[in-house]
Amino acid sequence: MSHDGQLNAFTASWLTQVSFTPPLVALGVRKDSHSLVMLQRGRVFTVNLLGKEQKPVAEHFVKPATTIGEKLKDVPYRPGKTGAPVLTDAIAFFECEVREIANQHGDHALVIGEVVEAGVHRDEPSLTLMDTGWHYGG
Ligand SMILES: Cc1cc2nc3c(=O)[nH]c(=O)nc-3n(C[C@H](O)[C@H](O)[C@H](O)COP(=O)(O)O)c2cc1C
């Protein structure tokens, strides 16, 4: 995501499509994360899909930002159409503009984004949660 010239990124698994027309995706985002604040302010994000060999990249983005921008220092990226970072080594990406942020009651916000740009860098299978052996649950 991008806000006021600052960039951040985090590893996410709670993502799903929620509309064909317009193309919308919903992302569950921890309310105590740095990323939610940036999404509320900057209103843009990129979903970068990683390849099977890129678990270390996912591991890198799991840690909370100590300083905003610091997690992207050693990872190649370019600013996308929305300004949010497109990771150069990701296999594919889609860029979104935030249309709604909901879920007053839960510990994660539901961030609904409209896909405004997308691309494929390499036509390869993506890294899944199952591949990592990790889980994201309470
Ligand atoms: C396997 C895995 C999946 C995750 N999925 C999500 C997710 O869907 N949404 C979320 O908010 N955090 C998720 N996280 C946690 C974030 O990556 C983590 O809270 C990160 O530190 C947030 O960074 P930030 O504070 O810089 O925003 C996941 C973590 C792991 C290990």
Give the model confidence (pLDDT) of 79-100 as tens digits.
999 999 999 999 999 999 999 9
Q: What is the separation of C-alpha 126 from the centre of its chain, rounded to a whole number of angstroms?
A: 15
Q: Which band of pLDDT confidence, cut at 50, 70 and 90, is reported for residue 104?
A: very high
Q: What is the mean pLDDT of the chain?
A: 96
Give residue ranges with CB within 6 A of ligand 1: 8, 10-14, 28-30, 33-35, 62-65, 108, 129, 134, 136
Q: CA-to-CA distance for 104 and 107, rounded, in angstroms?
A: 8
Mutate to test the pocket of ligand 1, among 13, 29, 55, 129 (most ligand atoms within 8 A of CB): 13
Check pLDDT > 70 for residue 28.
Answer: yes
Check pLDDT > 70 for residue 138.
Answer: no
The pLDDT of residue 54 is 98
* pLDDT (mean) for 47-54: 98
Radius of gyration of the chain, Cα coordinates, nearest whole angstrom: 14
Q: Domain boundaries in the chain? A: 2-124
* pLDDT (mean) for 4-24: 96
What does pTM read for this prediction? 0.96
- Cβ(16)–Cβ(24) below 8 Å: no
* pLDDT (mean) for 26-51: 97
The pLDDT of residue 34 is 93
Contacts with 118 (C-beta within 8 Å, 6 or more apart), sequence order: 92, 93, 94, 95
The pLDDT of residue 4 is 92
Topology of domain 2-124, CATH: Pnp Oxidase; Chain A (2.30.110)
Check pLDDT > 80 for residue 37.
Answer: yes
Q: What angle do CA 8, 55, 46 make, to 5 degrees?
A: 35
Q: What is the separation of C-alpha 104 from the centre of its chain, rounded to a whole number of angstroms?
A: 21
